[in-house]
A and B are shown apart, each in its own frame.
Chain A
């Protein structure tokens, strides 16, 4: 329904967009610090607006007759092709979009503040801030989209800004390669998304989210009847949409770009590749959740399996990596897998919607603690100038605040009560247990692995023995610490938000409580993971190497990320390039080019033959003309008389 009192929300993306334009156009003219502070101020305004929107929506007038309403706060016709094919631009407010506003603005603001110090001495400071604004604008636009066409536009825009920010250090070949990889892999996935959009809107006859996801609407029932290869057309289109979501959210086997994306500046990893853009896929599935759960349960459970598998897969790899940002990247993939798993096992009404709620809850808490972990990692990298954990150790003495913040992040992600990760993970596990025992078992194992690799990381950085540092590591400046402290606080308290009263699939709140039958074993396995990590990594010992040797082939395979990159290289280089691209290139070079060249050669030949006609001899021309006139006159006389 249309609600004009919320029309101020359209300013949220627009403020950031103008901030992008001003910083971007003033690039080179503004002093770097000025553009940084300007961007931060714009973000501060947006954060205030987002919090106000969230407060008003959730606690003042969002609820009517016992369920939250979906508001169209702004709506404009953008392109009108025919009466039925119209593209609109709008702002849709419902619990998940309002929640995402809070997540994005909080994390983005923290990253803006943090970067004021972190990027201070870097080249391209203004460029960095203009792209941060562009990204924030695109992400805000994405979550507020009122129709599937608009979400696709912003979907590509976040992909673009991610590309630009990963390639921030564009003079480094690895950064360029990583940005291209991220762009191409997600673009490839978005191809599926586009086809999915076309099919979905073709079936339902509308782009509008409100119409598509209306549980009593006609859009849902259409398309289920027509089958193709054993599945309904609806299922196919939703699977294709999920392909796009999987690309953005780095689901197996499209996850390969995310670890490489760590080439970007660390705050960018915190913002884009941990907290916001990578959960866009989860958001998209949640946005279309009604359709998934009511019209295509097959597609939904597929998502659950893919997510849970990815979660385990990435957790295993994370245990073996030595680059701290890559460990965090795989951890992100794993946690997003859990969110997808949560969506996959969810039902629609009441308590059955727990999986959905848990997934959104985990999205929220994960954004806080993973951004915190990344920013801590950035502080550490800033201090010791390396990404490798083998070059770190004993930093707790030098960086007490960072140490404390990182510990909070680790405890939160490991699921230790009463930190936020405990509550959201508990809900995901409970939802899985009720729906599918296999998924529960895998997610339970992932919980243990998560605790293990996070504390491996923690001990390797902050405990263990000292390394030879070039210069003595020092604690970060205030702006960076502020972001760390704020996010630590958020990681602690965000678990107490009663999500089941705010975000549910059918928009009606329900009561949920901690399920101790699940929670106690989950705490136990987290504690076991932490204990093992403590034994192995707290002090320097030969234990990790021995364990690695004991696992043998599995360890080596995990260390090489299960050779997925190599498989991709093999498929692209040896199969696609050799058997498809090479023949096409041959055809292009020999057949197409030759045809064109022959036409050109023929033209050349003809003209060189007849160019002698233009001799430059004036009287020759006159002679031809006079002859011609005489012939014409004689002919005219002859035919007129005849």
Chain B
């Protein structure tokens, strides 16, 4: 079954996901949405890891391990980011990224 789907399809999918993520990160003002965009970017990378592993080195597992690792890192990162966002919200009563510009200059 896997032979019917070429690797280029998976790479196109991951590239799309990646740029959707970048676009979301650059454009959305809501910090939660920006966090979701970051998740998209990370998952696009995961697809690449797994796809390359499966197509070029089917007898090895490093790509899978790396994907799992990225998922774990992403989870912790989300925990930290949410904590920051909550305390930011407590301080300035909003989660609009443009309002959070205290640390300039």
A626 with B103, Cβ < 8 A, contacts A618-B97, A619-B97 known: no
* Cα separation A622 to B104 with both chains bound (whole Å): 15
* Cα separation A413 to B100 with both chains bound (whole Å): 91
The answer to whether A617 has its CB under 8 Å from any CB of chain B is: yes
Contacts of B27 in A (CB 8 A): 619
The answer to whether A616 has its CB under 8 Å from any CB of chain B is: yes
Contact A626 B97 (CB under 8 A): no
* Cα separation A622 to B22 with both chains bound (whole Å): 9
Contact B104 A614 (CB under 8 A): yes
A611 with B101, Cβ < 8 A, contacts A619-B26, A622-B25, A626-B22 known: no
The answer to whether B8 has its CB under 8 Å from any CB of chain A is: no
Size band of the interface chain A makes with B:
10 to 19
The answer to whether B98 has its CB under 8 Å from any CB of chain A is: yes
Contact B97 A615 (CB under 8 A): no
* Cα separation A616 to B104 with both chains bound (whole Å): 4
Contact B22 A615 (CB under 8 A): no
Chain B: minimal CB distance from A65 (Å): 87
* Cα separation A169 to B103 with both chains bound (whole Å): 57
Chain A: minimal CB distance from B99 (Å): 10
Contact A615 B101 (CB under 8 A): yes
Contact B25 A616 (CB under 8 A): no
Contacts of B25 in A (CB 8 A): 619, 622
The answer to whether B105 has its CB under 8 Å from any CB of chain A is: yes
* Cα separation A611 to B97 with both chains bound (whole Å): 20
The answer to whether A623 has its CB under 8 Å from any CB of chain B is: yes
The answer to whether B59 has its CB under 8 Å from any CB of chain A is: no
Contacts of B97 in A (CB 8 A): 617-619
Contact A616 B102 (CB under 8 A): yes
Q: Which of A601-642 contact B (CB under 8 A)?
A: 611, 614-619, 622-623, 626
Q: Name the residue among A614, A616, A617, A622 with the largest chain B CB count within 10 angstroms.
A: A616
Give the contacting residue for B26; candidates A611, A614, A615, A626; CB below 8 A.
Answer: A626
Chain B: minimal CB distance from A604 (Å): 13
* Cα separation A82 to B7 with both chains bound (whole Å): 75
CB-CB nearest in chain B for A623: B26
Chain A: minimal CB distance from B24 (Å): 11
Contacts of A618 in B (CB 8 A): 97, 100
* Cα separation A454 to B19 with both chains bound (whole Å): 107
CB-CB nearest in chain A for B31: A618
Chain A: minimal CB distance from B101 (Å): 3
Contact B104 A615 (CB under 8 A): yes
Contacts of A611 in B (CB 8 A): 105
0/1 interface trace, chain B 19-35, chain A, CB 8 Å (1 if under): 00010011101000010
* Cα separation A615 to B100 with both chains bound (whole Å): 11
Contacts of B102 in A (CB 8 A): 616
A614 with B105, Cβ < 8 A, contacts A622-B25, A622-B26, A626-B26 known: yes
Q: Which of B86-105 contact A (CB under 8 A)?
A: 97-98, 100-105
Contacts of B103 in A (CB 8 A): 616
Chain B: minimal CB distance from A436 (Å): 83
Contacts of B98 in A (CB 8 A): 617, 619
CB-CB nearest in chain B for A630: B22
CB-CB nearest in chain A for B105: A611
0/1 interface trace, chain A 149-178, chain B, CB 8 Å (1 if under): 000000000000000000000000000000
Contacts of A622 in B (CB 8 A): 25-26
* Cα separation A154 to B100 with both chains bound (whole Å): 67
Contact A617 B22 (CB under 8 A): no
Contacts of A619 in B (CB 8 A): 25-27, 29, 34, 97-98
* Cα separation A617 to B100 with both chains bound (whole Å): 8
Contacts of B29 in A (CB 8 A): 619
Contacts of B100 in A (CB 8 A): 616, 618
0/1 interface trace, chain B 35-57, chain A, CB 8 Å (1 if under): 00000000000000000000000
* Cα separation A201 to B25 with both chains bound (whole Å): 77
* Cα separation A622 to B98 with both chains bound (whole Å): 13
Chain B: minimal CB distance from A424 (Å): 81
Contacts of B101 in A (CB 8 A): 615-617
CB-CB nearest in chain A for B103: A616
Contacts of A615 in B (CB 8 A): 101, 104
* Cα separation A569 to B100 with both chains bound (whole Å): 68
Chain B: minimal CB distance from A77 (Å): 59
Chain B: minimal CB distance from A160 (Å): 51
Contacts of A616 in B (CB 8 A): 100-105
* Cα separation A619 to B98 with both chains bound (whole Å): 8
Chain B: minimal CB distance from A37 (Å): 67
Chain A: minimal CB distance from B84 (Å): 12
Contacts of B34 in A (CB 8 A): 619
CB-CB nearest in chain A for B102: A616
* Cα separation A538 to B100 with both chains bound (whole Å): 98
Contacts of A614 in B (CB 8 A): 104-105
Chain B: minimal CB distance from A169 (Å): 56
Q: Name the residue among A611, A614, A619 with the largest chain B CB count within 10 angstroms.
A: A619
Chain A: minimal CB distance from B8 (Å): 18
Chain B: minimal CB distance from A576 (Å): 50
* Cα separation A60 to B102 with both chains bound (whole Å): 89
Q: Name the residue among B34, B101, B102 with the largest chain A CB count within 10 angstroms.
A: B101
* Cα separation A618 to B98 with both chains bound (whole Å): 8
CB-CB nearest in chain B for A608: B105
Interface residues of A (CB under 8 A from B): 611, 614-619, 622-623, 626
- Show 6 A/B contacts (Cβ-Cβ < 8 Å), sorted by A: A615-B104, A617-B97, A617-B98, A617-B101, A619-B25, A626-B26
**3 closest pairs, A vs B, by CB?**
A616-B104, A616-B101, A611-B105
4 more contacts with CB within 8 A, not counting A616-B105, A619-B27, A622-B25, are A611-B105, A614-B104, A616-B101, A619-B29
